[in-house]
Amino acid sequence: DTAVSQTPKYLVTQMGNDKSIKCEQNLGHDTMYWYKQDSKKFLKIMFSYNNKELIINETVPNRFSPKSPDKAHLNLHINSLELGDSAVYFCASSQQNKKGQGQYFGPGTRLTVT
């Protein structure tokens, strides 16, 4: 049983297209995240949702729009894709205020924009 799953695992698309990445967690966590890992392996948070409410919104172009239909799902929609959007996108989840628990990551979605 996969704890945090993402689809698709790989996504190759052309500049200007719109694409979505889906994430689901079955851990019962109340908080979910999106991270971007660039080609140098640097990992940076993009968004965080707690019980479907946006609580962290980093300096991310407004072409990126997260949506959380329920606390087990957090999707990421990207409009007008650019070459610089190529990266690995990770979804993660955790339980708020549960001390000592790290975030559990999905397998990542490798996005390539050509």
Partner 1 sequence: AQKITQTQPGMFVQEKEAVTLDCTYDTSDPSYGLFWYKQPSSGEMIFLIYQGSYDQQNATEGRYSLNFQKARKSANLVISASQLGDSAMYFCAMRGGYSSASKIIFGSGTRLSIRP
Judged by the rule CB under 8 A, the positions of this chain that interact with partner 1 are 30-31, 40-45, 48, 50, 55-56, 58, 88, 90, 92, 94, 96-105, 107-108, 110
Which of residues 18 and 36 has its CB atom nearest to partner 1 in the complex?
Answer: 36
Angstrom distance (rounded) from CA 5 to CA 108? 8
44 or 63: whose CB is closer to partner 1?
44
Cβ atoms of 109 and 11 closer than 8 Å = yes
Vertex 15: Cα angle to 6 and 75 (nearest 5): 25
Tell the smallest beta-carbon distance from residue 9 to partner 1 (Å): 9
